[in-house]
Structure 1
């Protein structure tokens, strides 16, 4: 990287532009279609206060905002030039991290709410939809502010005439103490705390199913809740755990806190793959909605049947008119 003093550590980073271009191209179309359909269907259940629907809608919106920025990323990694100016570069860079941490927080909220509502059904009955709306507004403000340091930190030497963006951005020089404080804060609040909460909710929901005194209808609800929290945990571990482990050492290496050449090579080679894994969440989250929410499946089947019926009727009317 531009600001790293370990210039003698020759990491083979030439492949990363191709890796990013291929990954984002593969993600774009499925992510765009799946999240658009998810938003279209989830709004039908917005009145269901005890199904985490508000959180799912916000999660789909976060994914869609990142997906819509992918064509510009694909253009850059194919052409290796950025003609769109400084602001758009930093905005797309910012949306990447906004999506990541908003997704982490909404996955955590979905897990916590499903666990709490199945463990305490009376809380679900008294819960108001406006509570979820208020939580979402507060979360967007907090996450939006917390992600601002990412584009600021990576805007070294960037101006409107620059032709570099994203992975090729320089890093601003910040004193070691500030780097450590920001890094520990980001890792704890954006990774470790959600990891603890999601793991706890998954284990506790699983434990509840071993209680033989539960009634059958409660068992059914708890099985649904378990599928949901397991799905959230799976997306979290697949997409975000590798990234945050690598990210910790990535910042330490690029800030010259770690001087080991061996560590430098390993981290620089693994970091592009961890970023690609983190982006795949845009395609995995819609799968979470489909396989864990029976209402979502039913509504998708109903809408699909309606669309097919309308098309068949229109074809029949055209045929009869002839």
Structure 2
């Protein structure tokens, strides 16, 4: 999600309207994200629902994660329109909604990935403690609570002033950045990056320690659990770390002198890759994950083979 600014820069380091050549690489980047993410998350939504039907609590978190990513991915079409036109034509309310969707994706995804990490930690390190925590009903209540908390947090931190500039037709990436966002962006850095990564790292360490001390755990199972937690950490750190750090750095560095604004736009673009990484988690959540994905691949290959034979 990005508004490649229509900003008027009084110091002269940005043009009032960026060239098409500068917008088009991001246009095609987001186009690729949309083309891949919509079917990937739709598939993840379907298979996670099957796990929910079989009373698997992880399916609840995966279902909400896919729903969150799918909603955000569809919302990217508005910014595709902006990149194509070079001007934001949808007005302030739609801009505010788009920014709301972006940050909802950030923090809901963070929270759900934390839930997956904690669930796996409890299952491996403390399999007989707190069994009620690993029930579908508990997962549903936790997911609802997370959605409510994130929606309230965003309602308290996202404002019209910080999201939309009607005079310059700017949305989200307002330039120059208002000076009163330091506290909000500091909170976002802690809530959206430091705290989740810290919790996931602790769960990863606890699982690795428990797996090594448990000789009954098969080597293949050890590898699968470690890969899962590694994917969760990678998704959170690589997608949400840069954008939260750059949001804060914009408050303290000269955006023109240090090229911070350009780096910030790149970090926002990079955060959208979360929509592509999250569906991959399904392959490592359950033993049947890879098998189901393989079945789909074989089905598609079989359809292509039959079609080819029909042509011959």
Q: TM-score normalised to the size of structure 2?
A: 0.82
- Deviation by residue 1:277-322 (Cα, 9 ceiling, x = unmatched): 1111101111222245332222334456667889999999x9xxxx
Decide whether the 8 Å contact of 2:225 with 2:284 is kept in 1: no
Decide whether the 8 Å contact of 1:98 with 1:144 is kept in 2: yes
Separation of aligned partners in 2, 1:128 and 1:97: 28
Tell me: CA distance 1:79–1:313, structure 2 relative to 1, closer, same or farther (3 Å).
closer
SS at match of 1:298: helix
Separation of aligned partners in 1, 2:215 and 2:151: 42
Which residue does the alignment assign to 2:94? Answer: 88
Decide whether the 8 Å contact of 2:95 with 2:164 is kept in 1: no
**Relative contact order (C-alpha < 8 Å, sep 6+): which is higher?**
1
Q: TM-score normalised to the size of structure 1?
A: 0.80
Q: Which runs of structure 1 show a deviation greater than 6 angstroms over 4 or more consecutive aligned residues?
A: 1-4, 306-316
Larger Rg: 1
CA RMSD of aligned residues (A): 3.5
1:215 aligns with 2:221: no
Q: How many residues align?
A: 302
- Deviation by residue 1:39-95 (Cα, 9 ceiling, x = unmatched): 111111114556622111111111000111112111111101233333222212211
Trace 1:165-184 onto structure 2 (pairs within 5 A). Answer: 165-168=171-174, 174=180, 179-184=181-186
Separation of aligned partners in 1, 2:162 and 2:257: 19
> What 5-or-longer segments of structure 2 have no aligned partner?
none
Which residue does the alignment assign to 2:144? Answer: 137
When structure 1 is superposed on structure 2, of 53-62 and 142-151 the one drifting more is 142-151
1:242 aligns with 2:242: yes
Trace 1:39-58 onto structure 2 (pairs within 5 A). Answer: 39-47=45-53, 52-58=58-64
- Deviation by residue 1:90-128 (Cα, 9 ceiling, x = unmatched): 212211111111111111111111112111112475432
Aligned match for 1:150, one of 147, 154, 158: 158
